[in-house]
Amino acid sequence: MSTIHQGIIQASLSLSPIASLPAETNDQDPRFPVSSSNCDVFWYDTLLVVPSVFFAVYLAVHAKKNLKKLCNGGSYIMISYYALLWLVTLLNLAWCSLQSWQCSPRKEVAWNLLSLFTASGILCLEISLMIFLLKDDYTTAKETLAHTFLVSGIIVGVDILLKIIYIFGFGVPLFIHDTGNIQKRKWGLWIIDKLLLTAAYGFILFVHFSKWREKLPPRPAFYNYIVIMFVFSAVALFACGIAGIGAGFGTWLYNLTVTCYHSLYLPFLYVTFLADFFQEEDFLLDNAYYSEMKDAGFFDDDWD
């Protein structure tokens, strides 16, 4: 009889959910739950990696010509943005290519650090461009550059500090998708983040339609950029809001905005602010477009 009972107990244990868990889950840090929703999903990896690879290759192919143009164009601001764009592009390419890290219990720290630096780099580009568009008049382009990156650096620094506290202090999985009930704690920070970005882009739109619109560079492409980013930020804010109350559609929509952001934002920024500059062959900057950009402060007045 004892043999029969022992066999029944062993069979029940073999069918129990606890016994069926993989052995490696014992090594998982409970502060960083592992997601499997985006692991080895071909379409998801393709949507992220392919645009990022194409954009990195495009920058590499045109790097020699672009560097020559920068050296002859005489702009500290353009040189700084181009260097920052390259750095963020490489970080973003690594982030898109290493999605499997968020599914590995042994690489959660590396994944969080990579995600943190990548998101902060892209945010730095966003914030610095908004500050530049709203800048006051400064004596030189060097002063404009220093003020822009000082303010954006402070904002991004505070953002990084808050996210580090959330991730490594409270164990909130900000950069890991679909982690169950624990992910509800992260939506508060993301709502604040998207709300501030939406408000910033909305304020620039308000300035555009107000009596202070002459403070903005007279370039339609800049206005189109602000409109698109305002709509995108508003959609992301809406997604975070409904995801925070437990709606599955909100999580799906938020993941979609993350995918679009990492795969399309950097090419969009390049086309809006840098493409025409690098495509122009003469270095005299005497056409209307470069006159407008010079008036906006892109080019150094004292480079000579």
**Residue 126 counted as domain residue:** yes
Report the first-to-last Cα separation within the chain, whole angstroms. Answer: 98
Residue whose entry in the numeric block shows the structure tokens 């808050």: 162
Q: Give me the number of domains the chain comprises.
A: 1
**Residue 296 counted as domain residue:** no
**Residue 229 counted as domain residue:** yes
Do the beta carbons of residue 80 and residue 71 sit within 8 Å? no
Backbone angles phi, psi at 269, to 5 degrees: -65, -40
pTM confidence score: 0.78
**Residue 247 counted as domain residue:** yes
**Residue 145 counted as domain residue:** yes
Residue whose entry in the numeric block shows the structure tokens 């022992």: 6
Q: Where do the H-state alpha helices sit in the chain?
A: 2-15, 42-61, 63-73, 76-97, 108-133, 141-164, 187-208, 220-244, 248-273, 275-279, 288-296
> pLDDT at position 125, please?
94
**Residue 194 counted as domain residue:** yes
The CATH number covering residue 188 comes to 1.20.1070
**Residue 275 counted as domain residue:** yes
For 64, the domain range is 35-288
> pLDDT at position 222, please?
85
> pLDDT at position 61, please?
95
> pLDDT at position 23, please?
37
> pLDDT at position 223, please?
86
Give me the tens of pLDDT residue by residue for the chain, a chain 304 residues long: 444 444 444 444 443 333 333 333 344 444 444 444 556 567 778 889 999 999 999 999 999 988 888 888 667 788 889 999 999 999 999 999 999 898 888 888 999 999 999 999 999 999 998 887 777 655 566 777 888 889 999 999 999 999 999 999 988 888 887 545 456 778 999 999 999 999 999 998 888 788 777 777 777 788 899 999 999 999 999 999 999 898 889 989 999 999 999 999 999 999 988 887 777 554 444 454 555 555 555 555 444 4
> pLDDT at position 132, please?
79
